[in-house]
Chains A and B, each alone.
Chain A
Amino acid sequence: MDTKAYIDTGILELYVSGQLSEKENKEVYDKMLEHPEILQEVLEIESALMKLGEAVSPGLSASTIQIIKERLNFNSDNGKVVNMPKSRSNWFTYTGWAAAILVGAGLLWSINQNKQLEVQLSDANVEKSYLETQIEDAKSDLAKTENLLSILRDRDIIAVPLGGQGNFENAYAKVYWNKADNSIYLDGQGLPDAPEGKVWQVWSLTLNPLTPTSLGTIDNFNTDDNKIFEIVNTNESQAFGITLEPTGGSETPTMEQLYTLGVVSP
């Protein structure tokens, strides 16, 4: 059947506004069940005519339904103001959907937030452990420094300034000698870094006759932070000197490379 041609005859408009015979009504009804597009057309015609009728209404009193219910002796919700069930259900439906969408959006937002927070948290943990390390380092540095300070302030310590020699007059160093425990602390702050292939070597000297005794090389000079080095010294030193020697050190000091020298005060 050509449903479009059937629709175009105008029979459906007459069906909705009630002009057809009972037999014709049954025929249209059967065709609606068979062809969804015919049913759709009927629904649209009905909707248009309903709206046209509504537009003519000058406004119906809200109490009309109450009067009808009273006249019909309805018992339920007696005297209550009646809300519109249709719009109520719509309201519920819309509110329900709106709530569902809100909850869904909220959930997505929360998941996203949660992920971001997790990332931030792990970043914070890394930073925290880094800071903890720094604090530990600082504490340990502080302890070392305090220890050093207490050593330098010791009553038994002898301070020996070492002045720059010859071409190296800008160089200087200091030796703190604790005779009680046979150790010296060399402060090499005033010496430059040892060049590649060279190393600082510390000497203990007796002056008459002039006899140098090696106290060893300072292999970690360039990488040390505070340039204070603890060295064992069991000699009856009368003076201390520092020379730049080839890596591994020398048997005797290279006098041309004597940077600093200082005599122990009697």
Chain B
Amino acid sequence: MQLETLVEQFQKKNEKAFESLYHMYKDSMHGVIYNIVKDKAIAEEVMQDVFIKAWHSSDSYNSSKGRFFTWILNISRNAAIDKTRSKAFKNSGKNLDATFFVDIIESNENLNSKTDAIGIKKFVSKLKEKCIKVIELLYFKGYTQKEASETLEMPIGTIKTRNRNCINELRQMIVE
């Protein structure tokens, strides 16, 4: 089924459409969430919250405002970041800055069961430090260009082109 049709059905509260969308995006969203919370049980919990929120706020999505992927990505990142700010999470003593997404992928045993996993693993091991940081901040953490520019001490224009070049490299690795 076309994504547009599926999203329309989902907005009409069609449970099947909701499930289909869940299965399309669950793994990528789980990856993004896990990269922020760094804990499997908490990531499961956030996943539930994200898709329940998506169901209840389906009216707020509009294709002219962005991709459905981007919409669910925003909900996921926000829910995960909210979780890290909770008191219970802070008490768990997680060191959130210790690892980036690349470290997770490189140590990820679950990759074997996935398509493109080998290509991505190869990619991230070769990925330049500057790419890792840009993708980590913009994609996984949802930083604005300005925030990323300040964090990495780079001009905004450089962030933008570097992000494109790094994602291009990723795309080529996946295609190979």
Q: Could you list which residues of chain A lie within 8 angstroms of chain B, going by C-beta atoms?
A: 8-20, 22, 25-26, 29, 42, 44-61, 64-65, 67-69, 71-72, 74, 76, 82, 84-87, 89
Contact = CB atoms under 8 A, between A and B. Distances in A.
B160 A10 contact: yes
Contacts of B67: 15-16, 42, 46
B31 A85 contact: no
Contact of A48 (B26, B140, B171): B171
Given A10-B160, A49-B139, A52-B101, A58 B65 contact: no
B7 interface: no
Given A11-B160, A14-B145, A51 B73 contact: no
A46 B108 CA distance: 22
Contact of A46 (B31, B69, B140): B69
A86 B20 contact: yes
Contacts of B111: 55
Contacts of B29: 53
A27 to B, nearest CB: 10
A49 B28 contact: yes
A184 B19 CA distance: 107
Main secondary structure of the interface of B (DSSP, over half): helix
Interface string B18-33: 0110111111111110
Contacts of B66: 15, 18, 20, 25, 29
Interface of B: 1, 15-16, 19-20, 22-32, 34-35, 40, 43-44, 47-48, 51-52, 55, 63-67, 69-70, 73-74, 77, 101, 104-105, 108, 110-111, 113-114, 116-117, 120-121, 124, 135, 138-140, 142-145, 160-161, 163-164, 167, 170-171, 174
Main secondary structure of the interface of A (DSSP, over half): helix
Contacts of B163: 10, 13-14
Contacts of B27: 53-54, 57, 60
B52 to A, nearest CB: 6
B23 A51 contact: no
B52 A72 contact: yes
Contact of A26 (B15, B64, B164): B64
B147 to A, nearest CB: 9
